Chain A
């Protein structure tokens, strides 16, 4: 079985996110890191490999992004991926979710994976949708927000976070699955893995290498264009209950929740 893990380089969580007014895109000049949700996807792939129920020949990290995105691939490799694939091209810059999903799907077609994993959301765009777009292009089933995944009956039995509880879904492979951060605790990369990451195979691909129609990607190929940006409104102060008598405090909280039919 071959697992491809989609990864993305995003602004580091400690960096305050800012939209560059002149381009309408996120300012990505600050410190960057591998999208934290993607580290859970790599860990999920590693756990399938180490679980041994299905032999996993290879875990391949795949990203689309500028030159700096190789750092995200190195990090993915230090966390367990065997090799990586970097789709990078001036024509791809400015792609919206649909265009990015199409481009990634073209790169994945070439790899013919049995399973595609990714983090359910990116720390920057927070769209939650790229997995579904990729799955649609690849004609594979798509599952999102998965928080448990077990090899069963020749496929995967997954639990996905639903609005009221969890759905248990049996999915046949190949499939595209996005995972939530509750699925596992990503391991620490060892120093040896960090030091060795640049020695693992990394293939750089341009649009033409994987048959991407450049009319469908980039700024011109994207149907979403960003207009104005506004900061979200400040949150209301909320209600603070002073804990003087704990029994009374608990009663007040329960009453508050009850009133809103939350319990």
Chain B
């Protein structure tokens, strides 16, 4: 098995910088806020380095951007990287806090050689503007040591890899402090010299654990790693150094997140129809926005347009410190229906979904309704309004057996305030609803009012005369 190790020297920084428009010096400080643990190249140029006290760093660069590292956040960011790497490699192992391991021996044939695999991974890193050191080895630990030492080369030659390992100083080999000191006292300086010692002597004079570690590097002892499984949902988060106060500022990171979503959906061969956007604030409850499209969709532009509309309607209640995009609902992608050669129906379908989604995003889901008749004698219950759905069934045949009804129904019966000029037909007695308590007992007439309007009036058993509809 051939392993490829990706070491991210400053993953959190890369992550933050991706959702920032203006580039400035940036550092990551440890939880207590005392020490710098990662510094971006800009910051390093100004003399800030790892382990420096924060106060010193600020005095060197007054407009320094600071981010507090958080273990869960780091784990999440690392998993984000595993997700895109999963497109290229099947067997991936997370090595927290900053490493990823991928089995690439089985990929060489697929990609056409090791250099092609290397190039693909490098390209993926460049697209995401990530800094990573790559190492290749025959055991997970060997790949890791080579990558972390920055000595990675695109070769599968065993001798070459072994030479690189042998020349590595003991400090780079990640022994624990005690073992390292003891080995140095023995006069050993490189890993190669340790490899040369007989195994039984090593176990006796140092410790069995150290021997196991060395054998794992060499590949003489099995080092099983459980493969990582990608989750069944999509999640992306952008964290901001400076709080964002205007919705306009959210669109730039959103663009990138939606582009990743599109890529992810394309790769899954799936679509989605609902996105969840969570905006976190420093002091108040997070704002949750549900963005729905009326049909399956995967294109970033369309999502962005809907979100833009939505954000125009809802101004931010508080400045935003981080934004997460979550998709949990996936729909299988429909094959374009091949009814006609030129695909006109598909275009119309798509245009319909675009229009309805746009309207719903601005007006709210409840603003658009579709009507349908219901089987009930009572006029106010003989129809229902439902959510808008695209139906492409055959049109209804005219239901002429239905009784004559007005085209306008009033939202509730209105009292009849004048005596009609002419009476036309009636009465039509409608009596029902004894089964659900909404009792109706009425005699309906068609009558013309003074104004020339043709009305559907009824007389209730108890309360008198009402207009219930207009023959429009």
Partners in one complex: no
Residues of A in contact with B (beta carbons under 8 Å apart): none
